[in-house]
Amino acid sequence: MKVEGAGVCATDLHAIDGEMEPAGVTLPVVLGHENAGRVAAIGDLVSTVRVGDPVLVCPPHTCGLCIPCRRGRDMMCEQHQFTGLTVDGGFAEYVVVSERSIVPLPAGLDPAAVAPYSDAGITAYHAAKRVAHLNVPGSTVVALGIGGVGHVGLQLLRELGSGGTLVAVDPNPARRGLAASLNADVVLDSEEVVEAVRDLTGGRGADLVVDFVGTDQSHAAGLELLVRGGTYAIVGFGGMVTVPSAAMVGGEITIVGNLVGSWIDLWEVLQLHARGRLMLKTETHPLDAVNDVLAMLREGEITGRAVLIPDSNNGGEPR
């Protein structure tokens, strides 16, 4: 695939920092796992796409033959590889992938504009789909962290759920503004969240907390926010979840981990976007600026998702 846009993700920072080694990421590797563009060339046996088709790359590789694959749990594939982490990705002019990883774009979508769905979107969709049935009238649903994944997740908790009060939480004023523009019912600073959710729920707590951050602090806050019988879904990662088993049993707490998503999750979220039901906040930068963009992400200076555009798609000449 000729890359037209590649999203930049906090996981890229984890990889650079060497924190992804337990997940099989050994450096050096060409990063970039949110890849969109057009099919540049195909092998003889490829039958589902043609040269020139606009496509996204679903980053988990799937063999299609193992038990997890047959259950539709692509990211658990026994032959697991991940474009842009365990094999070379899309911070480049071209990326090589299997036909099984290709998701054709619905008509009318520009590849670069939707590149972040490849990871931010698929991950948000997978996580929201698993717990959105808890977003019922009268429930309180809290989204922690309105970043690249969280701002999509916030919308999906509404789209896939049905009528609870949606609370968005972020320490950054720009991201709180984004949450407000996405019609969160309540927008809170991280500092005030525990007290505010207690007030909002008459002291009961939130029925569902989805954590798009994943630090010691967010894990502690997420668990503290829960009502008895509540569910805490973890999407962002990095900290330690610490909870007494007596509190889990006594409160009948459910904790759910979420890993990326399946090919069909990505296909479904794209259909929703194509119907105009989702907004993806992106900003574009030239591929050559990759290190500056990574530094901006590290400093929390990106609102939404940064997308790298190779020179050859930026009005420059292909190299």
Chain contacts with Zn ion (rule: CB under 5 A): 9, 11, 63, 66, 69, 77, 119
Nearer to Zn ion, 63 or 296 (CB): 63
Q: Which two tokens stand for residue 283?
A: 């900003």
| Minimum CB–partner distance for residue 292 and Zn ion (Å) | 19
Q: What are phi and psi of 185, to 5 degrees?
A: -70, -35
Q: Is the CB of 83 or the CB of 231 nearer to Zn ion?
A: 83
CA distance 255 to 233: 6
- Write the CA distances from 167 to 193, 227, 239, integer angstroms: 9, 15, 22
Which residue number is nearest to Zn ion in terms of Cβ?
Answer: 9
- Which of 168, 175, 223, 177 lies closest to 200, judged by CA? 168
CB of 66 to Zn ion, least distance (A): 3
Q: Least CB distance from residue 134 to Zn ion, whole Å?
A: 25
Kindly state the smallest distance separating residue 213's Cβ from Zn ion, in Å: 14
Cβ nearer to Zn ion, comparing 77 with 112: 77
Rounded Cα distance between 230 and 233, Å, is 10
Residue 139 or 262: the one with the smaller Cβ distance to Zn ion is: 262
Task: Please provide residue 60's backbone torsions phi and psi, each rounded to the nearest 5 degrees.
Answer: -70, 130
Long-range contacts (CB closer than 8 Å, 24 or more residues apart) made by 47-53? 47/99, 48/99, 48/102, 48/104, 49/99, 49/102, 49/104, 53/104, 53/105
Query: What is the nearest approach in angstroms of Zn ion to the Cβ of residue 232?
Result: 21
> Between 98 and 312, whose beta carbon lies closer to Zn ion?
98
